[in-house]
Structure 1
Amino acid sequence: MSMDNNINNAQVAESAGSTSEKPLLEVHGVTRSFGLGTETVEILHGIDLKIYAGEMVAIIGQSGSGKSTLMNILGCLDKPTTGEYYIEGRKTSDLDSDELAGLRRDYFGFIFQRYHLLGHLNATGNVEIPAIYAGIKSDKRVDRANDLLKRLGLEERKEHLPSELSGGQQQRVSIARALMNGGQVILADEPTGALDSHSGEEVMKILKDLNASGHTVILVTHDPKIAANAGRIIEIKDGEIIADYKNDKVSLERHQLAEEDRVVLKAGFILQMRAYVDRFREAFKMAFIAMISHKMRTLLTMLGIIIGIMAVVSVVALGKGASNKVVSDINSIGTNTISVFPGKDFGDIRSGKIETLTVQDMKVLEQQVFTDAITPNRQSSLLTQYHDISANAKVAGVSEQFFRVKGYEIANGHLFTKQDVDSLAQVAVIDENTRKRFFAYENPIGKTLMVGKVPCVVIGVLKASDSPFDSQDSLNIYIPYTSAMSRIVNEKYLGSMTIRVKDNVPNAVAQEAIEHVLTLRHGTKDFFTNSSDTILKTITSTTDTFTYLISAIAVISLIVGGIGVMNIMLVSVTERTKEIGIRMAVGARQSDILQQFLIEAVLVCLIGGGCGVICSYGIGVVFGMFVQSIKMEFSVTSIIAAVVCSSLIGMLFGYLPAKNAAKLNPIDALARE
């Protein structure tokens, strides 16, 4: 820039305001450079400029002259490479991103050539946006938006989408949006460039009326006819101001902005942060609208989460069902049972010589408070005959309580009683295998089996058991233990005892009490105990391990779904870059953009998680049609865990795309088509 031009510009700037008046906007030595490959291109070269409150200034120049770049710096959409920019004496380089967002939201009002309206919001919704980010209550901002639209002649079009409005109507919506939070300084970039002449005249009239009411208006245009509406014209060429002069055809009288429309800048200026709940609700609403507007993309994003959650919930339900089946099988041999055997442990070669387990021991234990039922077991393998049919069978001498201890049920006939035990009755209860072997074609009740050398009348047949803990490949005959001890083995001691513990007594407590009682009676510990609770815990632990293993494999699909969410969200950020730029231009903070995209990711995952849970129930119904032995058991805990997992995945994998969106440069985002 020449020395003469510098002097001329300074004189014009002084004439624009009294020497005692401070400038509203002040630029000193501002340059702006952009990287172009390996080179750096400087668009603005040492710009000096002062603009005073109430002025209507036109910045005119050809395309590529740097006028839009200068306007972007004035509106805090961009930052100078070097030099300083002051707003009411405050240096903008000292402001953080939220403070700059606050300026764009309340201090400046932007009117763009291409309107930059959000297509999925109606006219009122577009005008409201700056007020949403300012935390203004819903009813107040709706009233304010409708009032502005009414003043601009759009009262009948406030419910229409941008695609349903003409170019002139869209520009008026853009103007209303610029005024929503006050718009003390109106920045209009080629405001009539995309309009016909009639609409252009209407827009210019509105801008002049705004200036007359006290708004500072800065026009950027290449059209001298548009610039002629301003009281001050600044010409820029090749990044330098070549002229700055008064327009004698326009009055330079400057009006004061109404006090209620003024925004007072203070140190640490950050616009109001009230109504957090309201802002969150609006972010939620905007995220939901964005999802509805792109149904297919949203569905594809959810698909990975649906499959992952469905797999995890189904596997856990299947694992729980299998575990419950095993537990049920264990319970079928007696719930909370404790067996007592002679010797130190299984396989003790001296156990056959120990004869200290007696009927009296059983009777003492039967009187204990923890005992629900008790039975001895004196077992032998004997040749059994019926007519011309013979086979080896396991013959067990038991008490009448044996069937309760083991959980066996009668299918035909009846069980023997305490009276049968006391009278050494020669009666027998047989299992289904024995019935098939000896009585395949007749009713066994009342028939006599020759058990060894002892005839026994069959009085009952047990229901078939599918428990893996019952002998499925042997013939089992149960007779009173008194009969077995006196008529078959001719011994006075018991082979073992099994105690069923009452449900309200911990198994470990009962086991300790049994050992204490028998040790006192025998004077030594010549026996050992074995608890079904130990078996139950071992098997439960095993099934849980397999469930965790399979769940871990299923979680892999959930992670893959999460990566899919991240990828789709990254694509979404790219597709919606311009929308992000618009929101930032009207005052959205980085945290607002981050919040919106994060809410969107979490919503996608939550809805996907819910669909996954529903699908897993569907799988459970289909599974039950084909598999009868195991039932899928769905738990509230696994469903809650799935929902929490969905939310965490949304937050985890949605954070990076949301952060990328929040860090976009507003001017770069606006330039993206």
Structure 2
Amino acid sequence: MTEALLNVVGVSRSFAAGEDELTVLKEINLQINRGEMVAIIGASGSGKSTLMNILGCLDKPNKGHYLINGQDTSAMDENELAALRREYFGFIFQRYHLLGDLTALGNVEVPALYANEGPRARQEKATKLLTRLGLSDRLEHKPNQLSGGQQQRVSVARALINGGDVILADEPTGALDSSSGEEMMKLLRELHRDGHTIILVTHDAHIAEFADRVIEIKDGEIIGDTLNNKANVHQSNESTAEGAAESVAVLEDNHTQAPQQTLKSRRLASKIYWSRYLEALKMALIGMSNNRLRTFLTMLGIIIGIASVVSVVALGAGSQQSIMNNIASMGTNTIEIKPGTGLGDRRSARVRSLTAADADALKSLSFVDSVTPTVKANVAIRYSSETVTGSVEGVGTDYFRVRGYSLAQGQFFAADSVVAMEQVAVIDENTSQALFSEESALGQVIFLGSLPVRVIGVTQPIESASGNSDELNVWLPYTTVSGRIFRQNYVDDITVRVDENVESEVAEQGIISLLTMRHGVVDFFTINTDTIRKSIEKTSETMTMLISAIAFISLLVGGIGVMNIMLVSVTERTREIGIRIAVGARQTDIMLQFLIEAVLVCFCGGALGIGLAYLVGVIFSYSGSDFQMIYSATSIVAAFACSTLIGVMFGYLPARNAARLNPIEALSRD
């Protein structure tokens, strides 16, 4: 005697009903052989649908055993049960349960997709099945564009795409008119003649007459199991015994290999195919496209967060660069030496120990780039009838290098001019505009007090460290100021530019040691502009980190928003998830789809956020300000990585919840 294809042994199923327990099936024993067409009949609430769910591996019994081709399903994990649903069973539901976002062709392909079949192969099979069922002109129609009968035929094609050795039909005519119902039953009989095992669940005795065997169930117990002679006679008229025997023989051959096929499919399921990722990506894109507004609102938090992070980093870098440029305007890495004990020392005006010789001595230090002494004069600047007030300084030839000035016109004075105390001057652009607005300044003679000097150069506009760009500046050789205006042998201060490769603090100590040795006492103090620069840099970095932390919090809030919307999405798409599980999707397939959708939402949000940050930069550039945002490739890559990570982190919980949904409960949702 051949072993039964489906064997139910002492199966009971009960559900929690508040504090009580509702028993739906009671000690059911049932065997169904290959090639049978069986009708399970009973009134609503009799337990027939629960029995069908157990037969289709959508549900598990509380007690007893269910064997498929000799294999006990109670020992199988979720992936093995999914493989059985995918490769052994085909479901035809009363309410069709088609995916509204997909076409007829796409719906039929879904089980083959989860069976790891290639796109071309499954499309060819789906097209062939739909054509056979008379839907060749409806391949690209979505379910809402099909009649009830056409939707049911799409459901049949979906059940057959992976073979559908066992067809489980739950009230297959319940939602159809009488004509469509008759056509559906004829189709099921044809499938039966082709060798498929058909299990009908119905409350309609007329539908049950099409089956070879009728099993009646009442209050969770089988009360009748009879052969239907009418169906046998009808089938003998429609097909020869030889043809029936042949189809059963073919089916026998298929089913004897079923355990090996299942094992093979399990091995395949253990591998992650690129096609699964691509199809999950495709499903995610379809879901996002069909809910554009919700998708955009989900992205909004990520967009704002990423734009904030990138913009803040760019603003911080731009601010730092602007500050560094201002510092560079007074010389890069400079140390000023002034008489006295420090800023505010009232005795400093009487300390006259700094001399040009000190500046010459400092030039001998290996880490010194350039040195300039400075003598300041408070005199009026006059040209023709114009008299202005400005800064007049006697400086060395290296002054312009120390302070970072460059020429717009003319030349700087040379060392010979310093030695000869020549009455030559270099002026800045402001002084040129104030005194020579309508003529060239070069070669003109101006008066500094009563001293006439000839202008030999005009510097490029430059903003001082204090940001005062309106000041008028005139520079002469320091010997000219000391000898021809003040007649003094000391200088007001000395400025040293330190080599860029030397630590400013080390250089400062070397300068102090040399001057202390020369003077015998410490009658001077130093101002290290590099210390100021570093302090400003540190403050700027601290502020950037602070604002970045605030931006990151907004990004975190955006991630929580993604999680919440994805949880809502899982709730809204519960029925879709149930359908996918019923046609053979593994838990990992469901989880992968929703996880990719979450990552895709965050990734796209990250891209839009970076675009928004660049837009802010463009607005800044057109604002007329010299300030520029400086974008960091590191921050952009980090933003992309962060948005992807947020998608994974906050998408995991909704994806896991989706994968763990009970298929029976999911299918019952509207």
TM-score (normalised: structure 1): 0.86
1:205 to 186, 189, 204: 186
1:149 to 130, 147, 167: 130
Q: CA shift at 1:348, angstroms?
A: 8.7
Report the counterpart of residue 585 of structure 2 in structure 1: 588
Distance 1:521 1:110 in 2: 99
The aligned runs of 1:40-439 (5 Å cut-off) are 40-251=21-232, 255-256=248-249, 257=251, 259=253, 263-264=258-259, 270=266, 272-273=268-269, 274=271, 276-339=273-336, 359=356, 362-363=359-360, 366=363, 374-384=370-380, 386=382, 395-410=392-407, 414-431=411-428
The aligned runs of 1:460-475 (5 Å cut-off) are 460-469=457-466
* Pair 450,530 (structure 1): closer, same or farther in 2 beyond 3 Å: closer
Give the gaps of 5 or more residues in structure 1. Answer: 1-17
Deviations 1:92-147 (A, max 9, x none): 22222212111111121111111111122122211111121121222222222222
Supply the AA of the counterpart residue of 2:129.
L
Moved more, 563-572 or 31-40: 31-40
Distance 1:610 1:385 in 2: 59
* 8 A contact 2:381–2:390 mirrored in 1: no
Distance 1:26 1:552 in 2: 62
Distance 2:466 2:330 in 1: 7
Distance 2:320 2:502 in 1: 21
The aligned runs of 1:440-459 (5 Å cut-off) are 446-450=444-448, 456-459=453-456
* Pair 236,470 (structure 1): closer, same or farther in 2 beyond 3 Å: closer
Distance 2:46 2:506 in 1: 94
Distance 1:616 1:470 in 2: 28
* Pair 108,455 (structure 1): closer, same or farther in 2 beyond 3 Å: same
Q: CA shift at 1:597, angstroms?
A: 0.9
Distance 1:518 1:259 in 2: 103
Distance 1:353 1:258 in 2: 117
Distance 2:503 2:482 in 1: 30
The DSSP-based 3-state class of the residue aligned with 1:135 is coil
RMSD of aligned alpha carbons: 3.6
The aligned runs of 1:588-627 (5 Å cut-off) are 588-627=585-624
Moved more, 489-498 or 383-392: 383-392
The DSSP-based 3-state class of the residue aligned with 1:264 is helix
1:566 matches 2:563: yes
Q: CA shift at 1:282, angstroms?
A: 0.3
Distance 1:525 1:38 in 2: 96
Supply the AA of the counterpart residue of 2:465.
P
Distance 2:390 2:140 in 1: 89
* Pair 258,364 (structure 1): closer, same or farther in 2 beyond 3 Å: farther
Q: CA shift at 1:75, angstroms?
A: 0.8
Report the counterpart of residue 3 of structure 1 in structure 2: none
Q: CA shift at 1:59, angstroms?
A: 0.6
* Pair 132,449 (structure 1): closer, same or farther in 2 beyond 3 Å: same
Q: CA shift at 1:189, angstroms?
A: 0.7
Supply the AA of the counterpart residue of 1:416.
F
Identity of aligned residues (%): 52
Supply the AA of the counterpart residue of 2:478.
Y
Distance 2:280 2:182 in 1: 37
Report the counterpart of residue 27 of structure 1 in structure 2: 8
Q: CA shift at 1:636, angstroms?
A: 2.5
Supply the AA of the counterpart residue of 2:268.
Q
* Pair 534,477 (structure 1): closer, same or farther in 2 beyond 3 Å: same
Moved more, 547-556 or 509-518: 509-518
Aligned length: 651
* 8 A contact 1:377–1:495 mirrored in 2: yes
Supply the AA of the counterpart residue of 2:401.
R
* 8 A contact 1:376–1:397 mirrored in 2: no
Distance 2:467 2:147 in 1: 84
* Pair 135,346 (structure 1): closer, same or farther in 2 beyond 3 Å: farther
The DSSP-based 3-state class of the residue aligned with 1:270 is helix
Supply the AA of the counterpart residue of 1:142.
Q
* 8 A contact 1:291–1:298 mirrored in 2: yes
Report the counterpart of residue 640 of structure 1 in structure 2: 637
* Pair 571,480 (structure 1): closer, same or farther in 2 beyond 3 Å: same
* 8 A contact 2:392–2:473 mirrored in 1: yes
Distance 2:585 2:536 in 1: 58
Supply the AA of the counterpart residue of 1:580.
I
Distance 1:281 1:574 in 2: 24
* Pair 466,391 (structure 1): closer, same or farther in 2 beyond 3 Å: same
Moved more, 468-477 or 129-138: 468-477
Supply the AA of the counterpart residue of 2:635.
S
The DSSP-based 3-state class of the residue aligned with 1:272 is helix
Q: CA shift at 1:234, angstroms?
A: 0.6
Moved more, 570-579 or 205-214: 205-214
Q: CA shift at 1:181, angstroms?
A: 1.8
Moved more, 233-242 or 454-463: 454-463
The DSSP-based 3-state class of the residue aligned with 1:156 is coil
Supply the AA of the counterpart residue of 1:633.
I
* 8 A contact 1:33–1:44 mirrored in 2: yes
Distance 1:53 1:636 in 2: 65
* Pair 491,98 (structure 1): closer, same or farther in 2 beyond 3 Å: farther
Supply the AA of the counterpart residue of 2:162.
N
* 8 A contact 2:329–2:463 mirrored in 1: no
* Pair 259,343 (structure 1): closer, same or farther in 2 beyond 3 Å: farther
Distance 1:194 1:121 in 2: 21
Q: CA shift at 1:320, angstroms?
A: 2.2
* Pair 585,384 (structure 1): closer, same or farther in 2 beyond 3 Å: same
Q: CA shift at 1:528, angstroms?
A: 7.3
Give the gaps of 5 or more residues in structure 2. Answer: 236-243
1:511 to 507, 513, 536: 507
* Pair 290,397 (structure 1): closer, same or farther in 2 beyond 3 Å: same
Q: CA shift at 1:83, angstroms?
A: 2.5
Supply the AA of the counterpart residue of 2:139.
K
* 8 A contact 2:498–2:507 mirrored in 1: no
Supply the AA of the counterpart residue of 1:287.
A
1:557 matches 2:538: no
The DSSP-based 3-state class of the residue aligned with 1:132 is helix
* Pair 364,103 (structure 1): closer, same or farther in 2 beyond 3 Å: farther
Distance 2:285 2:304 in 1: 22
Supply the AA of the counterpart residue of 1:602.
V
Q: CA shift at 1:468, angstroms?
A: 3.5
The DSSP-based 3-state class of the residue aligned with 2:622 is helix
